[in-house]
Each structure stands twice: as C-alpha cells, then as structure tokens.
C-alpha cells in the first residue's frame, strides 16, 4: 500500500504535467487555426458522446505539417538551427578541451578549486550570462573600444546581432557541459601510457593525438551531445545576441506562438523539433550505456 502511494504520486504528477501536455501539443498540431478562444478547431466536446468523439478525430489532419513544407522559413530555420548547434559544439570542443586537459594535469590539491571555478558560472543565471555579452559585443561595446584603442581596427566591428555573437553565446554558456565530461575522462588517464608512447618514439604531439585523444573519446562524445542537444532548441541566445537574419527554430516557435498567435503551427513546429532531437538523444544514451558497461 505504502509502495503504491510512493510510486503513484510522482508517477501521476509526471503523467498529468509532462505526458498529457505533450499529447495535447500533438493534437493541436493536427487541428486548424480558428478565430476563436482557444484559437483552433476542433475542440473536444465530451458531452456529445461517441459521435462527438468520432467527429473530433475526423477533423484532425496533417495540414499544418504540409504548411511547414510550403513556407521556406521553417525548413531553413531547422537547417540553420542544426548548423548553428553543430558549429558551436565544435567550437566549444576546441575551447573546452585544452581547459579540461590543463585541469587534469594540474596539481591534485588545486583540482577541487578548479572544478568549483568551472561549475560556479553554471549556477549563475543563464539569462545574465547571455546578457553580459551584449555590453561587450555591441558597436560601442568593450571589445570594439579595446580593438580601436589598440589600433587593430579603425571602424567598429558589427558582432552583436550576427550569427558570430550567437556562436560566442553558445560556447560561453555551455562550456562547463563540455569541460566536465572530458575532464572526468582525462583524470582517469594513466600517465604511464603516454610515457610508454613517448619511449617508443612518439613525439609529444603524436602521443597526445594517438593516445590521449582516443582514451578521452567517451568524454568528448558526452560533452558534444550535452552541448548540441540544448543548443538546438535554444531561444534566449539567438533572441538576445542574434540578429533578424539569425534563424533558429526555438525563436521561430516563440514568435509563431506569441506574435502570430498561430497555436496549431507552433505545435507542429514543436513536434518536428522533437522528432529531430530524438536522433541525438538516442545516440547519446547508447554512448552512456556503452560506457557504463565498459566500466561495470
């Protein structure tokens, strides 16, 4: 009895507030836009009984999904989200790997402090961290002032409101997600393996490339997924740092919902985004499972 209660409370909560809402999105994505409250048809009328239910299902169709294929905006937004997320993930890896590597080789007594320094920004508001770049990247911002003062450029660069600013924003905010798994992999690495490689005639770089990188592969893969998956549906970064030409699907969904008030299309956008996300999520879980099996 007690066990049943223990299971059912969180279970019912998640069913009601996670699973059911998701099916509502699915259902509305199959509905039509209407000038009504709520702004779509058909609405489910349980009072009408079986006939009402049948009529309800008969009115659902894939029209909104067709609409997504006819307007360039949507598929371009999906493609450009995938591209922006991929490219920023790569940049995050390039920036994060040396940091994780340096941490793993630092003195043992420094490591907890270094870990804390990596995690601390993660506890600070995401919104504030994104916002902090607005003052740096704007036309009269700190970066442009510095570059002009040092004589590198004579006219201010336009960085804010471009895709470059979005890349910087993603790298900055998701960097801890990349560093921590790579650090975890590198920390376990046995130094004698690298020494062996060097004794056998590898240069330092070769030893790094042939021994260290392959042995930290799992950390790299985990880090890349942890950055790519949330970056794909990102809304705050493109809307604060990106410009009007920055297309990301999270922003499109938001605008479709709040500005155009087109709920069925917004729901259809959400359903497709989820279908795209399923692939990296499954790959990520497989990687985690393989790792667990290898360790266990």
Partner 1 sequence: MRRFSWFNATSLTLGFAFLYMPMVILIIYSFNESKLVTVWAGFSTKWYGELLQNEAFLSAAWVTAKVAVASSTIATVLGTMAAYVLVRAGRFRGRTLFSGMIYAPLVMPEVITGLSLLLLFIGIGLDRGVMTIILAHTTFSMCYVSVVVSSRLVSFDRSLEEAALDLGCSPFEAFRLVTLPIIAPAVISGWLLAFTLSLDDLVIASFTSGPSATTLPIKIFSAVRLGVSPEINALSTIMIGIVTVGVITASLISKRASLRLQAEEQAAART
Q: Which of residues 218-237 bind partner 1 (CB under 8 A)?
A: 229-230, 232-236
**φ, ψ for residue 124, nearest 5 deg:** -80, 150
What is the spatial distance between Cα 143 and Cα 137, in angstroms, rounded to a whole number? Answer: 6
120-139: which residues touch partner 1 (CB under 8 A)? Answer: 120-121, 123-129, 131-136, 138
Residue with Cβ nearer partner 1 (166 or 232): 232
What is the spatial distance between Cα 84 and Cα 101, in angstroms, rounded to a whole number? Answer: 26
83-122: which residues touch partner 1 (CB under 8 A)? Answer: 95-96, 98-99, 101-108, 114, 116-121
What is the spatial distance between Cα 205 and Cα 212, in angstroms, rounded to a whole number? Answer: 10
Within a 10 A sphere around the Cβ of 9, how many other Cβ atoms? Answer: 10
44-83: which residues touch partner 1 (CB under 8 A)? Answer: none
* Enclosing H/E stretch for 12: helix 2-14
What is the spatial distance between Cα 77 and Cα 84, in angstroms, rounded to a whole number? Answer: 10
157-216: which residues touch partner 1 (CB under 8 A)? Answer: 172, 175, 186-187, 189-191, 194
What is the spatial distance between Cα 278 and Cα 5, in angstroms, rounded to a whole number? Answer: 32
Does 273 contact partner 1 by CB under 8 A?
Answer: yes
Residue with Cβ nearer partner 1 (163 or 263): 263
**Could you say which of 86, 147, 184, 277 contacts partner 1 (CB under 8 A)?**
277
Residue with Cβ nearer partner 1 (65 or 129): 129
- Binding segment toward partner 1, per CB under 8 A, in 16-24, 57-65, 70-78, 83-91: 16-24
CB of 14 to partner 1, least distance (A): 4
- Binding segment toward partner 1, per CB under 8 A, in 50-58, 59-67, 82-90, 248-256: 248-256
CA 223 to chain centre: 11
CB distance 219 to 186 below 8 Å: yes
């Amino acid at each position: 009895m007690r066990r049943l209660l223990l299971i059912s409370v969180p279970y019912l909560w998640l069913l009601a507030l996670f699973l059911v809402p998701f099916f509502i999105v699915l259902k509305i994505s199959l509905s039509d836009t209407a000038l009504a409250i709520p702004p779509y048809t058909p609405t489910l009328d349980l009072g009408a009984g079986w006939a009402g239910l049948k009529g309800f299902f008969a009115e659902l169709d894939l029209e909104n999904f067709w609409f997504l294929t006819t307007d360039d905006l949507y598929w371009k937004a999906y493609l450009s989200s995938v591209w922006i997320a991929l490219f920023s993930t790569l940049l995050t890896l390039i920036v994060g790997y040396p940091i994780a590597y340096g941490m793993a080789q630092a003195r043992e007594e420094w490591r907890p402090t270094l870990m804390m320094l990596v995690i601390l920004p993660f506890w600070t508001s995401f919104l504030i961290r994104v916002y902090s770049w607005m003052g740096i990247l704007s036309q009269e911002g700190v970066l442009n002032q510095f570059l002009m003062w040092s004589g590198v450029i004579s006219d201010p660069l336009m960085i804010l409101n471009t895709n470059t600013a979005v890349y910087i924003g993603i790298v900055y905010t998701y960097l801890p997600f990349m560093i921590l798994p790579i650090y975890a992999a590198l920390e376990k690495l046995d130094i004698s393996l690298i020494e062996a490689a060097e004794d056998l005639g590898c240069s330092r770089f070769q030893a790094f490339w042939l021994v260290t990188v392959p042995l930290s592969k799992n950390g790299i893969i985990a880090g890349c997924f942890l950055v790519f998956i949330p970056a794909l549906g990102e809304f705050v970064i493109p809307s604060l740092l990106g410009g009007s030409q920055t297309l990301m699907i999270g922003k499109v969904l938001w605008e479709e919902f709040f500005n155009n008030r087109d709920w069925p299309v917004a729901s259809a956008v959400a359903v497709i985004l989820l279908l795209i996300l399923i692939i990296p999520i499954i790959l990520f879980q497989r990687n985690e499972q393989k790792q667990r099996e290898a360790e266990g």
